[in-house]
Amino acid sequence: MLSHRQKGGVLSGEYLVNGTPPDESFSLTVGFVAKDDVHLPTMTVRETLAFSANLRIHKKIPPLLRAIRVEVVLKLLGYVAALAAGRCC
């Protein structure tokens, strides 16, 4: 719903993000994981995000900037602190 990528079904009502309707770029900032996505148990969280970033982010964006984006997402999710403390994969 939030990513505007759901196909089929009936949706009604309104949705708000922080009390206001999202702008046109909102769906570009929201990740969507289909229920049938396969996640490899042999990949770490960082590897999974890097794989997704390489598929999603435009090829004009250099690999270093894609890698930085992955690290930013890991930090936002709290994985960087957990990794440093040895509490995460």
Report CA-CA distances (Å) from 79 to 2, 4, 22, 85. 24, 27, 27, 10
Least confident segment among 22-26, 44-48, 49-53, 59-63: 22-26
Enter the tokens of residue 56.
């999603």
Mean pLDDT of the chain: 80
Residues in CB range of 21: below 8 A, 6 or more apart: 14, 15
Distance separating alpha carbons of residues 16 and 79, to the nearest angstrom:
28
Distance spanning both ends of the chain, measured CA to CA: 30
Question: How far is C-alpha 4 from the chain's CA centre?
Answer: 14
pTM tops 0.85, yes or no: no
Domain positions in the chain are 34-84
